[in-house]
A and B are shown apart, each in its own frame.
Chain A
């Protein structure tokens, strides 16, 4: 066996990872307070309301879709236990369901060591219910939850897909209450219908933690929330930088009435609302559906011949929109022969490739890799209830705001962006690898 190429390879790998570590450390130093920085930016734009918006089109959408109420209610604040997050932190493993390599960013947040938890003689049964076992974002969420449970031999987790039926999710939770499970973690698709089953579980003495989206229950033990606000705001920041307050926009949004739509689109509009030079050509709801986003964007490309930017609210929609723009050969059809600016959310590996290729300009990460946090939180709640843990986790467990990712590094309103190579947390299947 010829060892020479392997030795060369090993040296190369060591050199590269060394360089990456140095790069990450430098980035880390600059962004030790990324969460706080983004909070400050959010605070600045949260003050923008209908009255202060000078752009009539933006104002109209903002008013009609009632964002103000929900933006006000969305949790923004400090991280629990004074946790400080730096890019590069977190554990790497293979997703138990997706079998894909994962680096989960927040495994040091509210940490729990490997091995048995709480009372080692007891087996703790935890139920994790969500939707969409065949949706890459959601599977990654389930992956991290299952991984966390697997770290503790006396924790048994049941991962159940309620297939986008809120009534079914309620049934699953009610069944776990009957079976006297020790803890429940859920990903609620819609807030309102999930309140009562959570209340019932709490009334039965079972701690419940929601992850990402919220429920309408005020009795829930903890809520692990994502960073929708930072998403929308950063998309707006990038657009302002790229278009300097002038240009025609097409909006492809999440489903009407969802938190994802209200906070992302709401935050985005707050940032661009005081620039009268923006024109909103169309505002569409493509409901996280790649095909719908494709078809709608294709039609929009026909309707509007001069588009400067397309706002998309999720990974699937962004890919659908991008593919439609490419099919119509309109990627570089913005006035002045420039490229249509595309801003997106969800840091999937697919999107990372497009950022590197320069087709999608910016993505604000919204990581699904927070299931483990939910499981650790519920374990701590169980322990607190049993008197084995001194302090219960806070009701609101905010996940760190994540900086946007752009092809070239830049600083926008004091926030330094990361390049795709500096972002090890992208989720989902990787295109080139899959196409073998």
Chain B
């Protein structure tokens, strides 16, 4: 087995014929089925509408982070700042609105740190801030050539500190019906948050499989030198994937804070590591060039379903951590073994 994979992988099918067969062959899908079965058998509440809705909301948050992470990892990079971006982008958006309110002489902040201004601008600004963070990460990685681990670790640190400094450690309450819609509304039995995840997934899947962007991104991850010689504007694409990751993080932040009706500086601590774990669980390679949003989504479902099951059974947190750590290593080991066997 050579150290440098010289071929770009066919997105989704991994060189094997039959898209439908490929869709069904994923180990993650089987694991998910097993978990769902285990859940249904072991608890009468697992398949209840309420529980599934809760599950889907968690999938939405972690799934969005993982989809963005997957995109970045496809180019062989990583983004450690997503957790911090989730919280920072909302806080920054609120601060900007308060600032704007000061200029326009409109009161944006009510008693008890409750935001009383319009919600839609906050949503827009949050996404903008997420994209901005992604842009900074991308500039550092693509043009500053700073190692992605370092660059995004730097942004992680800076954003966490800034979140506390900007908000003075106080939460902002975001209670308007409009703001709460993302995290709390349903379309039938399905939470809106899950539909947002689905939408993003569809967009990413389309971009990666049907659009030339996908070919470029996989090419960069597969063999960057060759891609560069072939005329791929690597820098631009790196900016794009980091901005996309930042947007996903901002979106995840909107959903989380919408459900919590507030944004608070310590939220989402460590979520970046969960996002990485989910992406890797879904077969995304840390080296780049391998992975798909479909498998990432499956992995996110597995992750959320697993945690949901552990919570339903009131499993002690320490044993949960033990299980999660072992499962992570075992699952990736199994995936590696499968790959080697198929290669």
Residues of A near any B CB (own CB < 8 A): 65-66, 69, 133, 158, 160-167, 170-172, 174-175, 177-179, 189-193, 195-196, 216, 255-258, 261
Contacts and interface: CB of A to CB of B under 8 A. Distances in A.
A257 B112 CA distance: 12
Interface of B: 45, 48, 50-51, 54, 58, 61, 112, 164, 167-173, 256, 259-270, 307-308, 311-312, 314, 316-318
Contact of B171 (A69, A175, A190): A190
B169 A193 contact: no
B269 A160 contact: no
A193 B317 contact: no
Given A167-B256, A175-B51, A257 B269 contact: no
Contacts of B51: 175, 178
Contacts of A189: 266
B317 A162 contact: yes
A177 B265 CA distance: 27
Contact of B262 (A171, A195, A258): A195
B269 A172 contact: no
A104 to B, nearest CB: 23
B169 A257 contact: yes
Contacts of A257: 164, 167-171, 265
A63 B256 CA distance: 31
Given A172-B311, A192-B262, 9 more contacts: A160-B314, A167-B61, A167-B267, A174-B50, A178-B50, A178-B51, A190-B171, A216-B262, A256-B169
Given A179-B312, A192-B171, A195-B261, A161 B269 contact: no
B314 A66 contact: no
Contacts, number: 97
A133 B48 CA distance: 30
Nearest to B170: A257
Nearest to B307: A171
Contacts of A69: 112
Nearest to B172: A192
10 smallest CB-CB distances across A and B, nearest first, come from A257-B169, A256-B169, A192-B171, A192-B262, A193-B260, A161-B317, A178-B50, A158-B314, A257-B170, A178-B51
Contact of B266 (A65, A190, A195, A196): A190
B118 to A, nearest CB: 20
B312 A164 contact: no
Nearest to B304: A171
25 contacts: A65-B168, A66-B170, A133-B317, A160-B311, A160-B317, A161-B316, A166-B264, A167-B268, A171-B54, A171-B58, A175-B312, A178-B50, A179-B45, A179-B312, A192-B260, A193-B261, A193-B267, A196-B260, A216-B173, A216-B262, A256-B169, A257-B164, A257-B167, A257-B169, A261-B169
A192 B173 contact: yes
A258 B259 contact: no
Nearest to A255: B169
Contacts of B308: 171, 175
A221 to B, nearest CB: 19
A216 B111 CA distance: 13
A252 to B, nearest CB: 16
B170 A166 contact: no
Contacts of B311: 160, 171-172, 175
A261 B269 CA distance: 21
A156 B167 CA distance: 41
Contacts of B261: 192-193, 195-196, 216
B314 A163 contact: no
A256 B51 CA distance: 35
Contacts of A196: 259-261
A166 B259 CA distance: 12
A69 B111 CA distance: 9
A191 B308 CA distance: 24
B253 to A, nearest CB: 11
A171 B55 CA distance: 9
A192 B113 CA distance: 10
B276 to A, nearest CB: 17
A166 B270 CA distance: 12
A160 B311 CA distance: 9
Contacts of B307: 171
A66 B168 contact: yes
